[in-house]
Homo-oligomer: A and B are copies of this chain.
């Protein structure tokens, strides 16, 4: 196992490889993506790919991460004080992403890759999903401080209560993903997370 020296690495090649991979997935789909095609498209030797990435999946994940780096930077949910509205905003945004054919296809490709390769899975969930989940958790924490959420609520589960249903419906295509659906999920979640009677009778959810 030789560990190449990263200081010598060609940034030009790295960029060419990542965008070649990204474009090819858009054109032919992730399933038909090959390392040889990436190399050819990028004008790069295959060895240069194998030197820096362990698999085509890793290249693709990095491509996605790289191209969405800026957006996700310091992701934070807006905190308008209106928890219901803020959560609706997140879920509706996610529903919108899943309804974009390009993003849908890419997300499914990433998910399939994550299913097969645990290492890629943690990469993906850690760097793409992670920040969103964390930001939502943070928003719920703030709401809990404001007494809008039960004091003993497990926020990790709370987050899954919001994203789980949407993810489930998207993955299994059981029913259409609409804004109305997103709102319904938020409504259920708010009820589930609401402080118990008497815990805080002076503060309403809408507060």
> Chain A interface: which size bin?
35 or more
The interface bits of chain A over 117-133 (1 if a CB of B lies within 8 angstroms of the residue's CB, else 0) are 01001100100010001
Contacts of A122 in B (CB 8 A): 173
Q: Which A147-195 residues have a C-beta within 8 angstroms of B?
A: 154, 156-158, 160-161, 163-169, 171-175, 181, 184-185, 188-189, 191-194
Pick from B129, B157, B167, B168: contact of A184, CB under 8 Å? B157
Q: Please tell me how many copies of the chain the complex holds.
A: 4
Interchain CB contact under 8 A, A157 and B172: no
Contacts of A192 in B (CB 8 A): 161, 188-189, 191-192
Interchain CB contact under 8 A, B164 and A157: no
Nearest residue, chain B, Cβ from A193 = B188
